[in-house]
Amino acid sequence: MPGAIYAEGLVKTFGDVKALDGVDLDVPEGTVLGLLGPNGAGKTTTVRCLTTLLRPDRGRALVAGIDVLKDPVRVRRSIGLSGQFAAVDEYLTGRENLQMVGRLYQMKAGPAKARAAELLERFDLAEAADRPTKTYSGGMRRRLDLAAALVVSPPVMFMDEPTTGLDPRNRQLLWEVIKQLVSGGTTLLLTTQYLEEADHLAHDIAVVDHGRVIARGTSDQLKARTGGERVEVVVHERDAMATAAEVLRGFGKGDTTVEDHTRKLTVPVTGGAKLLAEVIRELDGRGIEIDDIGLRRPTLDDVFLSLTGHAAETADDESDKETAS
Amino acid sequence: MSGMSMVSDSLVIARRNLIRMTRIPEMVLFGVIQPVMFVVLFTYVFGGSMSVGGSTDPDVYKNFLMAGIFAQTVTFATAGSAAGIADDMQKGLVDRFRSLPMARGAVLTGRTVADLVQTCITLTVLAIVALIVGWRTGSAEPTNAGRVLGAFGLLLLLGYAFTWIGALIGLSVRTPEAATSGGIIWLFPVTFISNAFVDASQMTPWLRHIAEWNPFSATVQACRELFGNPGVVQSDAWPMQHPVWASLIWSVLIVGVFRTLAVRKYRAADG
Ligand SMILES: Nc1ncnc2c1ncn2[C@@H]1O[C@H](COP(=O)(O)OP(=O)(O)OP(=O)(O)O)[C@@H](O)[C@H]1O
Ligand SMILES: [Mg+2]
């Protein structure tokens, strides 16, 4: 039984750019899938295919059990979408925008009005509700766009970089909203550049690069794939590095890496804090002065780096990104 | 998708576009000023030098001219709908709409309906200005209120039909700026190679032929006939002999063809 969002072999080409090259996804009902990937990986294109905005060249997709290609109209009744770039009418007020969306989800005027008021409150926009959104800040517009995606509490939601451009408080607010939604049974596909966000919200993570899913699993599984714990030492004297390396080799479960210019040595280990204490004692015993030492677990950043060969870029500069239209 | 939701969704979108108009009143204002300027310029600059049916009386030209200006004005609504739709595409609003369970043609229908309201406003102001500069119905042939209203009906229908051409243009270009020029440049040959500003019977035969079959000319001729204004040409061309019918048929045909094309283009997911 396929999940609430299911995709099989999605291919989409724009001219000679292969945006999607066989994307497979399966998101069980009531869970969050974090779609992670560098700029241009195909995240937005995937979302657009699943939300009926784009017809894939090849492949099959089901959303809420409905075939996206065969019955797009029914799919639209079951989804909420907040795209990468806020899509609100700048000359309408926040309230008018939400009411309009409610009406277009076929709600009656009364309920649409009540729902708009409720969402404005929830997204901390009540004060600005009756101003044209042209006067909103970027973050406010973003929040309004997210509110628009939630108007009918659809069973399946898509959010393309929902927290890009939000300040920490509003990011927190959105995370709370998302957790509430999911505990109420909503299935969510979320793309993000913030690994911390995926770590925090997503049950499962799919890493995309060059239009393919190159890894998937829980955040712990992905981290484990990248390797376990490591001890990292920064020694005070450059001269002490050779001795320190020798010590670490004795404890390590793999190759020791040495960074000359930062005087940093890293070695994979097993044994946790107890082992760390032993390492410290041994280094101390040999009279090596330590600037910094610690046990490091891999972060999703490490996962990203090792899988895609480049670090996740922070997405604060929207201007140089392609407008996917 | 039921017919009900087509109507109600279109009204929701029309309402949204009308609210936008109230927030950008200068758009409505410019839409009115431009044809008013045409009325004044044509009346006072060309007035004495144009001959209509052998007469160079400025009053005759004035009464001849108005049907042409009215018709040209309603067709210029094309640019507005083209720009509006291109803007919605560019701002990502069309993506939002396309992801909603709304009737397929409603975004475009709502836009054209709102443009029709703007055309009504423009036409009303224009008619008042025309009366002020001396335009009179029944100046050449007797007429009545019903016929005059009928003429305005044909004008509105023509304007509505042309906004569907605008919708298709708006969906086909990349920016609102391109849509504005793309919505208007082709209207110059269409409205000038016609009977709108000059007596078509004085044109060279091949040009005259084009002018007489120009959909736009049919409405102009029909309005002159219904207004009781001078310049109704006698011709062998069917649209000139039955201008009211020709105007109706042309407008309905344009709506039919361009609505189909535009809605199809809107639906094509790869917009
Ligand atoms: N409409 C389009 N026309 C041409 N190329 C496109 C179009 N949309 C996307 N692409 C290309 O497809 C590839 C994938 O783009 P997509 O927007 O899906 O990436 P993304 O993972 O969302 O990136 P980002 O993190 O920058 O948002 C890119 O190379 C992009 O240039
Ligand atoms: Mg993207």
Measuring CA to CA, which residue among B247, B185, B176, B261 is closest to residue B214? Answer: B247
Q: Name the residue with the closest Cα to ligand 1, atom 12.
A: A19
Our measurement of the distance from residue A133's CA atom to the centroid of its chain's CA atoms, rounded to an integer in Å, reads 27
> What's the CA angle centered on A121, arms A159 and A52, to 5 degrees?
25
Rounded CA-CA distance A143/B144 in Å is 58
Between chains, do A86 and B92 touch, taking CB under 8 Å as contact? yes
Quickly list DSSP for B50-76. Answer: --BTTB--HHHHHHHHHHHHHHHHHHT
Residue of B nearest to A86 (CA): B92
> What's the sign of the alpha-carbon dihedral B28, B34, B39, B44?
positive
Amino acid sitting at position A201 = L
Between chains, do A52 and B99 touch, taking CB under 8 Å as contact? yes
Partners of residue A81 on adjacent β-strands: A158
- The stretch A228-255 carries a mean pLDDT of 85
pLDDT number for residue A1: 66
* Percentage of residues of chain B with pLDDT beyond 90: 73
Q: Name the residue with the closest Cα to ligand 1, atom 19.
A: A40
Q: In the predicted model, is pLDDT for residue A322 greater than 50?
A: no
Q: Residue A73: which of B96, B97, B101 has the nearest Cβ?
A: B101
pLDDT number for residue B14: 97
Q: In the predicted model, is pLDDT for residue A302 greater than 80?
A: no
Per-block mean pLDDT, blocks of 10 residues, chain B (271 long): 80 96 91 89 82 83 93 94 94 92 93 96 94 92 94 97 96 92 91 90 89 94 95 89 96 97 83 41
Phi and psi dihedrals of A160, rounded to 5? -100, 105
Report chain B residues whose CB lies below 8 A from the CB of A55: 269-270
Ligand 1 residue neighbourhood (C-beta within 6 Å): A 14, 17, 19, 37, 39-45, 84, 321-322, 324
Q: Residue B101: which of A53, A86, A106 has the nearest Cβ?
A: A106
What 8-state DSSP symbol labels residue A314? P
Q: How many CA atoms within 13 Å lie on the side-chain side of B181?
A: 4
Q: Name the residue with the closest Cα to ligand 1, atom 5.
A: A14
Rounded CA-CA distance B224/B22 in Å is 33
Q: How much distance in Å is there from the Cα of A316 to the middle of ligand 1?
A: 17
Q: Where are the beta strands (DSSP E) in A86-147?
A: none
Which helix H or strand E contains A273, and what residues bound it? helix A272-285
Q: How much distance in Å is there from the Cα of A34 to the middle of ligand 1?
A: 18
Distance, in angstroms, between A252 CA and closest chain B CA?
A: 54
> What's the CA angle centered on B62, arms B26 and B184, to 5 degrees?
40
Distance, in angstroms, between A126 CA and closest chain B CA?
A: 20
Q: Residue B92: which of A51, A92, A325 has the nearest Cβ?
A: A325
Q: In the predicted model, is pLDDT for residue A90 greater than 80?
A: yes
Q: Which residues contact B74 (CB under 8 A, 6 or more apart)?
A: B119, B122, B123, B155, B156, B158, B159, B162
Q: In the predicted model, is pLDDT for residue A312 greater than 90?
A: no
Measuring CA to CA, which residue among A28, A84, A20, A32 is closest to residue A56? Answer: A20
> What's the CA angle centered on A83, arms B171 and A161, to 5 degrees?
150
pLDDT number for residue A257: 84
Report chain A residues whose CB lies below 8 A from the CB of B93: 87-89
Tokens 């079951």 belong to A78
Instruction: Give this prediction's pTM.
Output: 0.85
Q: Name the residue with the closest Cα to ligand 1, atom 4.
A: A14
Q: In what order do the strands lie in the sheet with A66-67?
A: A17-27, A5-14, A58-63, A66-67
Question: Would you call B197 helix, strand, or coil by DSSP?
Answer: coil
The interaxial angle of helices B145-172 and B215-227, nearest 10 deg, is: 160
CA distance to A294, B67, B131, B224, per residue, from B136 (Å): 94, 11, 7, 11
CA distance to A68, B73, B180, per residue, from B153 (Å): 43, 14, 26
Which helix H or strand E contains A157, and what residues bound it? strand A156-160
pLDDT number for residue B4: 66
Whether A73 contacts chain B with CB within 8 A? yes
Phi and psi dihedrals of A209, rounded to 5? -155, 140
Quickly list DSSP for B140-164. Answer: SS---HHHHHHHHHHHHHHHHHHHH
- The number of the ligand nearest the C-alpha atom of A159 reads 2
pLDDT number for residue A224: 76
Q: How much distance in Å is there from the Cα of A18 to the middle of ligand 1?
A: 9
Q: In the predicted model, is pLDDT for residue A316 greater than 60?
A: no
Distance, in angstroms, between A51 CA and closest chain B CA?
A: 6
Q: Name the residue with the closest Cα to ligand 1, atom 3.
A: A14
A105-139 confidence digits (pLDDT tens):
999 999 999 999 999 999 999 999 999 999 999 88
Whether A83 contacts chain B with CB within 8 A? yes
Interface size A-B, in CB pairs within 8 Å, comes to 80
Sketch out chain A's domains with CATH numbers: 5-223 (3.40.50.300), 228-296 (3.30.70.100)
Rounded CA-CA distance A80/A153 in Å is 8
- The number of the ligand nearest the C-alpha atom of A36 reads 1
Whether B101 contacts chain A with CB within 8 A? yes
Measuring CA to CA, which residue among A124, A43, A130, A57 is closest to residue A93? Answer: A130
A8-65 confidence digits (pLDDT tens):
999 999 999 999 999 999 999 999 999 998 889 999 999 999 999 999 999 999 999 9
Helices (H), A184-259: 195-201, 219-226, 241-251
Report chain A residues whose CB lies below 8 A from the CB of B100: 76, 101, 104-105
A135-153 confidence digits (pLDDT tens):
999 889 999 999 999 999 8
Our measurement of the distance from residue A73's CA atom to the centroid of its chain's CA atoms, rounded to an integer in Å, reads 28
